[in-house]
Amino acid sequence: MKTLLILFSILIPTFLIGQVTLDSASIIPGIGTKVDYYIMNNSATFAGPGNAGTKEVWDFSKMTIGDSTDLEFEAVQGGFQADPSNTNLCEQYTGFNGVRVQYKSTPADLYIMGNRNGLVQTSYGKDSLLKFKFPVAYNNTNTTGYYFDGGTRFRPNQRRGEYKTTVDGWGAILLPFGGLNEILRVKIEETYNDTSTFLGTETIIAYSSTTYEFWQKGTGSYVMSIKYADEDGDLDTIVTYRKQDQVIISPVDTSTEDTTSIIEIQTKKTLQLFPNPASTQIKVLGNDIAANTKVHISNMSGSIYEVLEFNSGEFDILELPKGIYFLMIEGDEYLPIRFIKQN
């Protein structure tokens, strides 16, 4: 009987998560969204990003915390170094690298328009870098070129190269604080040369990097980033991952029987919520939820705004500030559901 059970497991793996796709509403943050990250300690001993493919379980549960940093999404800013006119969203690390990245986001795509490091502005203009076409799904790939001229009359510079994104895997991820389901992995490959000329002397700096970003629905930015960067022969490894209260933690079982590889990811029930976006009231539907069950409404940073009872499933949101929220049913049966509060 045991032999028959093993054969059955090989033919029909008990991997219960469906293929993951991401749309713009599930990953593009709002202005003012703040994301907290840990920076891995001793990243020089990091084993690697894991395998590409489907139904993967990437295990990073043994990582240790070295430091922490914040990432805040900002509105477009003018001033001495204005953002490009077609930028509508910016991100800024604090306490990490100080580079402000500028985006153009639409329901159809996400472009990187440029970046600012101190007073140095690099705008890609028409040659902006395509990061995502929505919906984002396994095996999607996009390639765009770096091709811009900048600098000053006395010190002109050029950047020539390539920016490529490939969705190379989907599955689940294990972090030191728990497991996360419905993860897409995006591989980002950058290669370019920066050429600057000053008083007739030409300087060329070669840059290449490979970054693996792990995305989960509704988190507003990646869950984890593994970056291998080589700037003029100097190789760095930078690993950051989200803090516990800013991701949806769910059971991930990677146990095996004998030598048969069986991956089982437990699924939770899903809720229905409408209208979404909403201004005054939302209605939530779920099977067999008792009227006195506690309901939590929190923002993208994990701060809880309301703790209510389910009752009829209708909730007044008129007093909530405009933004993106999660509604969570207390207990372990239901996945949180994301909604947008309009003015």
pLDDT of residue 330: 83
**How far is the CA of 212 from the CAs of 133, 165, 275, in angstroms?**
17, 10, 35
Q: Are residues 224 and 287 in the same domain?
A: no
pLDDT of residue 47: 80
**Residue 322 is assigned to a structural domain of this protein:** yes
Q: Are residues 241 and 276 in the same domain?
A: no
Burial of 177 (0-12, 13-18, 19+ CB in 10 A): middle
Q: Are residues 213 and 81 in the same domain?
A: yes
pTM for this prediction: 0.70
Domain with 117, as residue range(s), is 13-246
**Residue 263 is assigned to a structural domain of this protein:** no
pLDDT of residue 188: 97
**Residue 288 is assigned to a structural domain of this protein:** yes
Q: Are residues 52 and 91 in the same domain?
A: yes
Q: Give the CA-trace dihedral at 237, 243, 248, 249, to 10 degrees.
A: 90
pLDDT of residue 263: 37
Residue 92 in contact with residue 115, Cβ under 8 Å?
no
**Residue 256 is assigned to a structural domain of this protein:** no
Euclidean distance between CA atoms 322 and 337, whole angstroms: 17
Q: Are residues 212 and 95 in the same domain?
A: yes
**In sequence order, what are the residues at sequence separation of 6 or more whose Cβ sits closer than 8 angstroms to the Cβ of residue 343?**
279, 322
**How far is the CA of 273 from the CAs of 18, 152, 293, 326, 338, in angstroms?**
21, 53, 17, 11, 9
Euclidean distance between CA atoms 325 and 305, whole angstroms: 9
A 10 A CB-CB count for 45 gives 9
**Residue 8 is assigned to a structural domain of this protein:** no
Which CATH number is 281's domain given?
2.60.40.3080
**Residue 164 is assigned to a structural domain of this protein:** yes
All residue ranges of the chain with pLDDT < 70 are 1-18, 44, 79-80, 94-97, 231-234, 253-268, 300-303, 332
Q: Are residues 182 and 293 in the same domain?
A: no
Q: Are residues 146 and 219 in the same domain?
A: yes
**Residue 255 is assigned to a structural domain of this protein:** no
The last residue of a domain, from among 185, 211, 246: 246
Tokens of 83: 């953002």
pLDDT of residue 250: 82
Question: What residues form DSSP beta bridges with 143?
Answer: 164
**How far is the CA of 254 from the CAs of 52, 65, 174, 264, 320, in angstroms?**
17, 24, 10, 6, 40
The last residue of a domain, from among 211, 230, 246: 246
Number of domains present in the structure of the chain: 2
Q: Are residues 220 and 294 in the same domain?
A: no
Q: Are residues 59 and 102 in the same domain?
A: yes
**Residue 258 is assigned to a structural domain of this protein:** no
Q: Are residues 242 and 281 in the same domain?
A: no
pLDDT of residue 209: 92
Name residue 97's amino acid.
Answer: N
Q: In this structure, what DSSP letter does residue 9 have?
A: H
Euclidean distance between CA atoms 21 and 33, whole angstroms: 22
Q: Are residues 199 and 311 in the same domain?
A: no
Q: In this structure, what DSSP letter does residue 18 have?
A: P
Phi, psi of 236, rounded to the nearest 5 degrees: -125, 150
Helix (H, G, I), strand (E, B) or coil at 329: strand
Q: Are residues 133 and 242 in the same domain?
A: yes
